[in-house]
Amino acid sequence: MEEVDQIIIGSLLNIGCEFAEGMTSLKQFTTENVVEATVKCLRIINPDYKMSHIFPPGMSARFRVGTSIANTCKSIGYQGDIGYQTFLYSAERDVRQIFMFLVEKLPRKEGVKEDTGKSNVLQRRIGQVLREKCSTMWMPFYCKPLIEGVPFRTQPLFIPKYSKGHRNSKSQGKRQNEKKYDYIHRQVEHDELTPSLLELNCSQLIAASPTIGKTSKQGDMKTTKVTKEAFHWKDKSMVPANILSFLQLPDAIPFDSSLDEVIQIVTGQSLKTNRSRFAHAKDLQFTTVNDPTSSVDEASSSADVAKDQEELEEIRFQREEDEMNKMISDVVEDEEKYKEDLKMVEMSMKQIVVNTQELESTNEERIKQVKLKEKTLKLLPNAEENMEKLKAMVDASSQRLVELGKLWEEKRIPLVAEIRRLKQSKTETEFDAERKVEEIRLLRSRMKDVSEETKQKDQLIKQLKTELDSVKRDISRQSYTRRILEIVASIHKQKQEIQRVIEDVKLVQKTMNKLKGRANRTFSAADEVIFRDAKQDEGSKQAYKYLVSLHDNCAALLKTVEETGLIMREIRDLEGQIDIEIGKNAEENLEKILKDYKEVKRENAEMIKKLKKK
Amino acid sequence: MELSSLQAVGIVEKDTDNGLMWTWTYPSLTADQKEYALSKCCLSWDIKTEKGKIVPFVFSQYRKQWYYVFTMATSEPTALKSVTFFSIILVGNDFNPEKYAVLTRILSKYYEESANPVRILEQYLMVVTKGVCQSNSNGVFKVNSFSSQKAFTTASLKDVINTFGIQSILLYTAILLKMKVLVYHSKLELLLEITRALPALAWHRQDWSVVYPWVQDRQQELNAVRKLPHYVVGCTVENVLTPDDFDLYVNAEDGTITVSPHAKESLTMGKLHKDVAKKMVELAENETVTNQQFIAGIAEKTTELLEKLSSLGSENSAGETIISPDHIKSKDLHPNTETFLMNLAIAERLLKFD
């Protein structure tokens, strides 16, 4: 029975009965444990069933709870004897039976039947990932160890919309031109992007601040230059403070306030240093502007002197121009002439080409004709004779050619046939090859499919493996199988035993019948012989009487033996029943019941008392 | 000359499994010649395309030799087993489609009956040596009964001129001035008819060697054509040649004629052209005029023109008429007429330079 108990305890542990930890047998279960385990099982079997698994201390309440549990067990199909007493006064056997029934009824875990569908795999995967995620501790992103600080290094950025007239760094020059019109994330290194953007934003804020508006109002190139300079100066030292104050007090600076006011508000410093720079720049600017004007004055003063010279030169130019014109017209005339000549030359070339081609084409023919005529001339002296000869020759050659043709034909036909055959076989092999290629393609695709399937299955296996690992390995399965095997073996043994007993019984019965028959036959034979004699012989009469009485006595004896057997069987049955009853702890339970009965009575009395008091 | 004009004969067979094979040749053909002949043989065309249909008789010129290809399907009773189609290819020196059409037909009949090329060889040798061949059904084939004159006038020039109307004067001028003419028509049979008719515009030359009735988009053919000083080339595919390669583009399907930019100057029309054009259209529209009469009419006009040209020049010591550019210039003609006459003189090899 130990295996059964272990299986039951394992199952109970699985459904969350922590008290069962470390127990090995149902004997160790207390009444409370039994009730708790039963209620938990029932709850899982029937989710609608609501009952606290804590056994109440009051006796009548306990009775009620016991009855309710027993009823529920019956309602889900328990066929054995069950009542409140089963729980209140638990006998190990009953409890085991109930638990066996309940554990059987517990819904199987999914996974008994595995579906390999994709959605199932996905769900499993999701489940797995979630489980993994749950097992690791959550951390806010800023606590993750990988993030490192980035030094505040900036690069100039170029954004067409904003960068016009703006420079936030001195080192622009070439790089800007190269990277112009590129996306900002490609203009600088990854690490420098955020700082650069921040800086750009800062400088834009400054540019948009009323300082610029103010200076542009003065409408002078010089002043913008100065502000730029001032800006650079601010850029180096004051930006953070500037921006901070600007951000903190966005409305504190009126838009039409003067530059000085703004600077004062923004920087909180005196204007003195600024002013000195401003003035300095102004001075520089003015001096540079003054220089060219003075030189122009000088030039105008010397203009009068040059006037005479200019006139002279004009006349010279006129003369030169005339000469040139003449030359040009001459050249044009020449060109016309040359063109004409060129055309003529082209024409002549064309003519020559045509002539050459004509001559070439006729040349070949003429050469042939000449040769023919030469031959003819040679043959001319004996014209008649030669003609005959030639005719004969031609005929002979023709004949010979035809002969040769026939000979060739003899060779050719098998060759052509061979070619045809080879071609045929080639196309056949090609066809074969094509078919094979097709087959290969098919196989490939099938291979692909199969490999995909294998991959899927592998994944599933992996997943299931991890799942299997994650599930606590309990003894239940092993013990189940062992138990089943044992049961099967014992049943087999029992069957054999029963068979043997049956055979025994049959044998005995047979012998009995045989003996009975023989006794009867002997008796009737004896009866007949002695009865015949008894008619004549008095002694025989007596013998006959004895025989009859003997027969009757024997029959009575037999009957008695049979009855004895019956009684023996009954005794054995009763003994078995007694054993069962003893197993049920009847006495102990009775005592308990008595105790409980008294308790109930006491409770009732108390209640009545309470009621009466009220 | 006529007896030896035949150069070679070949047989191409198409098997039941679509295999194409050059099975027999006499006396011999080079690989290039064979390749050309095969390209002109309709059995080699892709059956799947629309142009894969059988064109029974095709002729074309390549490297101064004329190829005549006659194709027929075998029909029972035949000694040719496992052959569905076969072509008889004749290579000759002269242009005479009708003559060779008859000859190829006779030869093909022999071959279909006997499947023995020796029969063809016999007939071929008969034609070469005696100018006669025995047809097994239609009596005797005589080379002499097919004159080149007849071949030149068979194709209807009149119909061609009617297709293009007054534009035909461009064709006339181009042929007369030995220019490069490209003719396009998608139907091969019609293309062959049109191209072979055109040289009749310059009847006095009797020169049909300028015609390349069918040029395909093959590098060897196109290169051969590009080397020619002047030609009449037919094609069934547009844009085989670039406008730089030809002077006149004749789209026979649409009835349009286009002058290449570089030839515009030479093909400017003058008073002389108007005269000829009028006569030409007049003759073409007259239904009672036969093709021969039509050609004669145009020849007459051409002769007039040439006489006029000759009258400008002088005879040299050898009795040849010679024209120098100064002769033409001194007449103080209209510039267009002057250019035309100059070009005509060149084409007729009359112009002499000092």
DSSP string, A56-73: PSSHHHHHHHHHHHHHHH
Measure CA of the first residue to CA of the last residue in chain B; give whole Å. Answer: 38
- The closest of B148, B129, B141, B128 to B9, measured between CA atoms, is B128
Residues of A in contact with B24 (CB under 8 A): 412
Could you tell me which chain A residue has the CA closest to the CA of B179?
A354
Q: Is the pLDDT of residue B333 over 50?
A: yes
For residue A506 the two structure tokens come to 């049959």
For residue A165, the model assigns a pLDDT of 47
Could you tell me which chain A residue has the CA closest to the CA of B81?
A417
For residue A273, the model assigns a pLDDT of 45
Query: Residue B291, class by beta-carbon neighbours within 10 Å (0-12 exposed, 13-18 middle, 19+ buried)?
Result: middle
For residue B75 the two structure tokens come to 């029909």
Distance CA A119, CA A125 (A): 10
Average pLDDT, chain A: 78
A347, B351 Cβ separation under 8 angstroms: yes
Distance CA B159, CA B252 (A): 11
Q: Does A429 touch chain B (CB under 8 A)?
A: no
Domain ranges for chain A, please list them: 1-107, 338-380, 482-587, 588-613
The reply to whether residue B19 touches residue A405, judged by beta carbons under 8 angstroms, is: no
* Top-confidence residue, A153 or B222: B222
* Top-confidence residue, A113 or A134: A134
Distance CA A546, CA A535 (A): 15
For residue B202 the two structure tokens come to 């310059």
- Local confidence band at A489 (pLDDT 50, 70, 90 cut-offs): very high
A8, A100 Cβ separation under 8 angstroms: yes
Distance CA B264, CA B268 (A): 6
Residues of B in contact with A361 (CB under 8 A): 209
The predicted-structure confidence for B289-300, as pLDDT tens digits, reads as follows 888 888 898 898
Place of tokens 């991890």: A466
Residues whose CB falls within 8 Å of the CB of residue B40, separated by 6 or more in sequence, listed in order: B58, B60, B67, B69, B214, B216
For residue A109, the model assigns a pLDDT of 55
Q: Is the pLDDT of residue A279 over 70?
A: no
- Please name the member of B24, B26, B125 whose beta carbon is closest to the beta carbon of A398: B125
Distance CA A255, CA A478 (A): 87
What distances in angstroms separate CA B257 from CA A253, A296, B163, B248, B252, one per listed residue?
A: 84, 72, 11, 7, 8
The reply to whether residue B15 touches residue A354, judged by beta carbons under 8 angstroms, is: no
A26, A96 Cβ separation under 8 angstroms: yes
Residues whose CB falls within 8 Å of the CB of residue A271, separated by 6 or more in sequence, listed in order: A260, A263, A264
Q: Does A341 touch chain B (CB under 8 A)?
A: no
Q: Does B121 touch chain A (CB under 8 A)?
A: yes
Number of Cα atoms under 13 Å in the Cβ half of residue A400: 6
Q: Which of A345, A398, A411, A428 should be substituted to probe chain B, the one whose Cβ sees the most B Cβ atoms within 10 Å?
A: A398
Q: Is the pLDDT of residue A111 over 50?
A: no
Query: What is chain B's Cα-based Rg?
Result: 23
- Local confidence band at A470 (pLDDT 50, 70, 90 cut-offs): confident
Q: Is the pLDDT of residue A7 over 60?
A: yes
Average pLDDT over residues A363-383: 86
- Local confidence band at A548 (pLDDT 50, 70, 90 cut-offs): confident
For residue B28, the model assigns a pLDDT of 87
For residue A218, the model assigns a pLDDT of 46
**CA of A313 to nearest chain B CA: how many angstroms apart?**
48
The predicted-structure confidence for A498-547, as pLDDT tens digits, reads as follows 999 999 999 999 998 998 899 889 888 888 888 888 777 788 888 888 88
Q: Is cis: bond before B335, omega within 30 of 0?
A: no
Q: Does A348 touch chain B (CB under 8 A)?
A: yes
For residue A255, the model assigns a pLDDT of 55
Number of Cα atoms under 13 Å in the Cβ half of residue A186: 6
Q: Does A425 touch chain B (CB under 8 A)?
A: no
B246, B195 Cβ separation under 8 angstroms: no
Q: Does A350 touch chain B (CB under 8 A)?
A: yes
The DSSP 8-state label assigned to residue B139 in this structure reads: -
The reply to whether residue A416 touches residue B117, judged by beta carbons under 8 angstroms, is: no
- Local confidence band at B316 (pLDDT 50, 70, 90 cut-offs): confident
* Top-confidence residue, B233 or A164: B233
The predicted-structure confidence for A45-61, as pLDDT tens digits, reads as follows 887 777 777 777 777 88
Could you tell me which chain A residue has the CA closest to the CA of B83?
A420
Q: Which of A368, A401, A406 should be substituted to probe chain B, the one whose Cβ sees the most B Cβ atoms within 10 Å?
A: A401
For residue A570, the model assigns a pLDDT of 96
Q: Which of A341, A346, A354 should be substituted to probe chain B, the one whose Cβ sees the most B Cβ atoms within 10 Å?
A: A354
Could you tell me which chain B residue has the CA closest to the CA of A350?
B346
For residue A394, the model assigns a pLDDT of 87
The reply to whether residue A348 touches residue B353, judged by beta carbons under 8 angstroms, is: yes
Q: Which of A337, A340, A351, A404 should be substituted to probe chain B, the one whose Cβ sees the most B Cβ atoms within 10 Å?
A: A351
Minimum mean pLDDT range among A317-331, A452-466, B337-351:
B337-351
Distance CA B61, CA B294 (A): 26
Q: Is the pLDDT of residue A20 over 70?
A: yes
* Top-confidence residue, B180 or A472: B180
Can you list the pairs that B235-238 forms with residues at least 24 positions away whose Cβ atoms lie under 8 Å? B235/B182, B235/B183, B235/B184, B235/B191, B236/B51, B236/B184, B236/B185, B236/B186, B236/B187, B236/B188, B236/B191, B237/B184, B238/B184
The reply to whether residue B117 touches residue A347, judged by beta carbons under 8 angstroms, is: no
Number of Cα atoms under 13 Å in the Cβ half of residue B71: 25
* Top-confidence residue, A471 or A32: A32
The reply to whether residue A427 touches residue B17, judged by beta carbons under 8 angstroms, is: yes
Share of chain B above pLDDT 70, in %: 96
B196, B156 Cβ separation under 8 angstroms: no
The reply to whether residue A419 touches residue B346, judged by beta carbons under 8 angstroms, is: no
Query: Residue A522, class by beta-carbon neighbours within 10 Å (0-12 exposed, 13-18 middle, 19+ buried)?
Result: exposed
**CA of A415 to nearest chain B CA: how many angstroms apart?**
10
Place of tokens 């007849």: B150
Residues of A in contact with B352 (CB under 8 A): 351
Distance CA A461, CA B232 (A): 79
- Please name the member of A358, A416, A420 whose beta carbon is closest to the beta carbon of B349: A358
Residues of B in contact with A402 (CB under 8 A): 118, 121-122, 125
Residues of B in contact with A357 (CB under 8 A): 229
Distance CA A29, CA A13 (A): 13
Amino acid at B88: I
- Local confidence band at A371 (pLDDT 50, 70, 90 cut-offs): very high
Domains of chain B: 3-146 (3.30.450), 147-354 (3.40.50.11500)
* Top-confidence residue, A587 or B125: B125
- Within A537-585, residue ranges assigned H as helices are 538-583
Distance CA A458, CA B247 (A): 75
Q: Is B255 left (phi over 0), alpha (psi -120 to 50) or beta?
A: left
Q: Is the pLDDT of residue A278 over 70?
A: no
A72, A49 Cβ separation under 8 angstroms: yes
Q: Does B335 touch chain A (CB under 8 A)?
A: no
For residue A110, the model assigns a pLDDT of 45
Q: Is the pLDDT of residue B244 over 80?
A: yes
For residue A442, the model assigns a pLDDT of 95
Q: Does B306 touch chain A (CB under 8 A)?
A: no
Q: Does A358 touch chain B (CB under 8 A)?
A: yes
Q: Does A351 touch chain B (CB under 8 A)?
A: yes
Q: Hey, how many other C-beta atoms are within 10 angstroms of the C-beta on B2?
A: 16
The reply to whether residue B349 touches residue A348, judged by beta carbons under 8 angstroms, is: no
For residue A121, the model assigns a pLDDT of 78
For residue A293, the model assigns a pLDDT of 45
Q: Is the pLDDT of residue A560 over 90?
A: yes
Could you tell me which chain B residue has the CA closest to the CA of A365?
B1
Average pLDDT over residues A250-274: 54
For residue A485, the model assigns a pLDDT of 92
Tell me the ipTM for this assembly. Answer: 0.71
Residue A218 phi/psi, 5-degree rounding, is: -70, -15
* Top-confidence residue, A128 or A295: A128
Q: Does A116 touch chain B (CB under 8 A)?
A: no
Could you tell me which chain B residue has the CA closest to the CA of A407?
B118
Place of tokens 């003893």: A582
Helix (H) or strand (E) holding A233: helix A221-237
What distances in angstroms separate CA A576 from CA A173, A317, A448, B116, B338, one per listed residue?
A: 112, 155, 69, 116, 149
| 3-state secondary structure at position A16 | coil
Pick the CATH number of A1-107 from 3.30.70, 1.10.418, 1.20.5, 1.10.1740: 1.10.418
The reply to whether residue A406 touches residue B118, judged by beta carbons under 8 angstroms, is: yes
The reply to whether residue A355 touches residue B21, judged by beta carbons under 8 angstroms, is: no
pTM passes above 0.90: no
Residue A427 phi/psi, 5-degree rounding, is: -65, -35
For residue A491, the model assigns a pLDDT of 95
B328, B338 Cβ separation under 8 angstroms: yes
Q: How many residues does chain A have?
A: 614
Amino acid at B83: V
Query: Residue B121, class by beta-carbon neighbours within 10 Å (0-12 exposed, 13-18 middle, 19+ buried)?
Result: buried
Residues of A in contact with B122 (CB under 8 A): 402, 405
Helix (H) or strand (E) holding A439: helix A383-470
Q: Is the pLDDT of residue B354 over 80?
A: no
The reply to whether residue B325 touches residue A427, judged by beta carbons under 8 angstroms, is: no
Q: Is the pLDDT of residue A101 over 90?
A: no
Query: Residue A352, class by beta-carbon neighbours within 10 Å (0-12 exposed, 13-18 middle, 19+ buried)?
Result: middle
Amino acid at A603: E
| 3-state secondary structure at position A114 | coil
- Local confidence band at A487 (pLDDT 50, 70, 90 cut-offs): very high
Distance CA B208, CA A485 (A): 109
B267, B259 Cβ separation under 8 angstroms: yes
* Top-confidence residue, A443 or B243: A443
The predicted-structure confidence for B78-131, as pLDDT tens digits, reads as follows 777 778 888 999 999 888 888 888 889 888 888 888 888 888 888 888 888 888
Q: Does A363 touch chain B (CB under 8 A)?
A: no
Residues of B in contact with A363 (CB under 8 A): none
- The closest of B113, B112, B49, B55 to B86, measured between CA atoms, is B112
Cβ-based contacts under 8 A for chains A and B: 64
Amino acid at A357: Q
Average pLDDT, chain B: 84
Q: Does B178 touch chain A (CB under 8 A)?
A: yes
Q: Is the pLDDT of residue A590 over 60?
A: yes
Q: Hey, how many other C-beta atoms are within 10 angstroms of the C-beta on A550?
A: 12
| 3-state secondary structure at position A152 | coil
* CA A488 from centroid of its chain's CA atoms: 45
Distance CA B75, CA B279 (A): 50
Could you tell me which chain A residue has the CA closest to the CA of B129?
A394
Residues whose CB falls within 8 Å of the CB of residue B213, separated by 6 or more in sequence, listed in order: B59, B60, B61, B191, B192, B195, B196, B234
Distance CA A44, CA A66 (A): 18
- Please name the member of A355, A406, A420 whose beta carbon is closest to the beta carbon of B349: A355
